[in-house]
Structure 1
Amino acid sequence: MISVIIAAYNAEKYLPECLDSVLGQTYKDLEVLVVDDGSSDNTLEIINEYSRRDPRIVPIHQENMGVAGARNTAFDRMKGEYFTIIDADDKIDTNAYAEALEAAESTGADMVIWGLDRFSEKGIVPQPDPMLKQGLYEGKECKKLWLDFIYREKRRVVPFLHCRMFRTSILREHGLRLNDKLKRSEDYMLLSEFHFFCGRVYSMTDRKFLHYRQNEESITHKYVEDYFGMVKLIYAEIKAFAKENKAYSEEFARRADRMCLYRTFMSIENENLHMVSQKEKLKNVRSFLCDPLVKGAAKRIGFRDGKRLYGKKYYAMRLGLASMLLKFCKG
């Protein structure tokens, strides 16, 4: 059985499309855990109506805990040998779970990764093809894939939770959870840990099963309070994880530094969404640039690699030019 997890918060507009795409799968042995995360619209009523029509729907209601808390609740309840996650405003191809399960069972993969396309009300949004080659990764190649996920330079590993099917026993054995302190990038932390513990990963990213809605109302298009604080937490936790699992190396440290700067630039993009004065934005960005973590990572990367990886943004960072960075990091 495959457990499908859907966290739903005020999702009445798109949830029926999502549920129809999941329930219409050619693979039928599903449990669909739909967590109403304290919605104030008709989301719970839609979930309950669907559960009356299809017993595979498992309705769960809780007070608002955020997407990480909602998914963790489902982790505690799921019963499938494998599990997958989909957002309440996305859709999935009819044959996706059947093909992913066939790949997992034929190769012994602990994780299967597929591709996606993006769409909006205006139609399909152009999406670059992933650079990750199709096929099975195991042994040393699997560990290299983990490093590529920490920071992808040569091979682009699809960064989304909902482009994967996972073996549930990996999650259980290692006590993996989503960090509910992270209001953004919480999926990155879980995926980096899951990748580390996988013995085999199968890539079928040429199969664009997921249809990802480019939703202007989503958190990626809104200001997230103290996102830079979350960047520092991610860096600290991923470093601690590597040391705890005896995987800390010079190469890991190099990737972690690059990840830190990449996400610091995301923090500056986030500041552009902050509804405060320009003076306050500049003050916040300067505080990022003065942080010892950022200064250390930027220095270790060096001007040559910094320019190659980040262009003018890197020079502006090293020179402490907050106003220029706000201009360069428009998102």
Structure 2
Amino acid sequence: MACEISIIVPVYKVENYLNKCIDSILGQTFKDFELILVNDGSPDNCPKICDDYASTDQRVKVIHKENGGLSSARNAGLKIAKGKYIAFVDSDDFIHLKMYEVLHSNAKQYSSDIVICDYLKVNEGDVLNSDEPNLRYKEEHYTNIEALNELYGNKGVKFVVVWNKLFKKHLFDNLEFEENKIHEDEFIAHQLLYKSSKITYIPIQLHFYLQRKNSITQAEFCIKHLDFIKAYKERVNFFMTINQFDLQKKAEYSYIPLFFRYYYKAKNEVPNSREELKRLKSEFCFSLFSFIKNPYFIKKEKIGWFIFVINTSLFDSLVQKRLRNF
């Protein structure tokens, strides 16, 4: 049955948090939605919790699937979504009871393709009055290019993550989350923003982002964290493809320092990362002449890149010497 909003919640090993998450969604003052719970092969009590909610509220739909990761679960939810708008909530987070009332009313009033709210980081055990935030605010409106520039401003993370947003469903036509990746929002954010005609930002904290020690973002550095570099490089390539050269240079300015930081972190801390680092270096070398033209970097930095490409051992020794001097 058609509805206004499809809210997609991937579920995996969160039995201690899932009830709070679901209750905050089902208690929304905005009622015309479906809640799609995607059990991503969770080995704990989560599948039963999902089924129990579905048996008591007809708005709840449950998908049971083999474990495929967060992107796979979101994509599975998108395939059955009936709403005019799409929203995502991570299953260890929770939301303000008026979140979708506020986002939806702004989407309708301003014909916005994406509406974004602020979020609040919370720790386990924090007691919050999540019922009555200050709902007085001054909304901000952006074109797609203006919003893409915000990726490199002080609202960067807010414009990247998908769980603080309401999207028109058409934005996901021929577009899905890249699977088998972490930092998955970084791979899709710029594409969603570019497909939008109007983006509205609401500067109030309506999403509560739980900080827990065993989450993916808190995990020990491993080779999968190199996906962050890949996402940033894909964004560089994307801006070049759409002829947005100022954005391309900004993207390069973010990508290159991240490349070297993660490259050497993996090289020093992650066993068996040699082949992956070789591929990443090859991608870096392929774009070197574009990087050289970037006005945001000084000459000394550009000389360093040439040394890295031509004689990595020499560059390694310079890096280690610099680290010893800190």
| TM-score normalised by the chain length of structure 2 | 0.78
Quote the residue 1:129 is aligned against. Answer: none
**1:198 counterpart (186, 192, 196):** 196
Q: How far is 1:156 from its partner?
A: 3.7
Distance 1:121 1:227, change over 3 A: closer
Quote the residue 1:90 is aligned against. Answer: 93
- Counting aligned pairs with the same residue, the percent is 22
SS in 2 for 1:302: coil
1:57 aligns with 2:60: yes
Matches within 5 A, 1:183-194: 184-194=182-192
Matches within 5 A, 1:62-141: 62-121=65-124, 123=126, 134-138=138-142, 141=143
SS in 2 for 1:115: strand
Distance in 1, matches of 2:61 and 2:183, equals 27
Equivalent residues of 1:100, 1:165 under 8 A apart = yes
1:29 aligns with 2:20: no
Quote the residue 2:148 is aligned against. Answer: 146
Quote the residue 1:178 is aligned against. Answer: 177
SS in 2 for 1:207: strand
Equivalent residues of 1:286, 1:322 under 8 A apart = no
**1:215 counterpart (187, 190, 212):** 212
Q: Which amino acid aligns with 2:187?
A: M
Distance 1:323 1:171, change over 3 A: farther
Q: How far is 1:13 from its partner?
A: 1.1
Bigger radius of gyration, 1 or 2? Answer: 2
Equivalent residues of 1:21, 1:94 under 8 A apart = yes
SS in 1 for 2:223: coil
SS in 2 for 1:70: helix
Q: Which amino acid aligns with 1:147?
A: N
Distance 1:292 1:61, change over 3 A: closer
Equivalent residues of 2:68, 2:180 under 8 A apart = no
Q: Which amino acid aligns with 2:193?
A: H
Distance 1:17 1:201, change over 3 A: same
Deviations 1:259-310 (A, max 9, x none): 313543663697499575xxx89x899869965617938754423897xxxx
Query: How many residues are paired up?
Result: 296
**1:12 counterpart (15, 19, 40):** 15
Distance in 1, matches of 2:264 and 2:31, equals 42
Distance in 1, matches of 2:324 and 2:259, equals 12
Deviations 1:203-247 (A, max 9, x none): 10x21000100011111122342433x345424533443455xx2
Equivalent residues of 1:8, 1:88 under 8 A apart = yes
| TM-score normalised by the chain length of structure 1 | 0.77
Equivalent residues of 1:269, 1:326 under 8 A apart = no
Deviations 1:150-200 (A, max 9, x none): xx146545131101000002212xx11001032x12112211101001101
Equivalent residues of 1:142, 1:201 under 8 A apart = yes
Q: Indicate the larger mover: 46-55 or 247-256.
A: 247-256
Quote the residue 1:313 is aligned against. Answer: none
Distance in 2, matches of 1:273 and 1:13, equals 36
Deviations 1:95-116 (A, max 9, x none): 1101111101000000000011
Gaps of 5+ in 2: 129-136, 302-314
Gaps of 5+ in 1: 126-132, 307-316
**2:253 counterpart (234, 237, 258):** 258
Equivalent residues of 2:233, 2:255 under 8 A apart = no
Q: How far is 1:81 from its partner?
A: 0.5
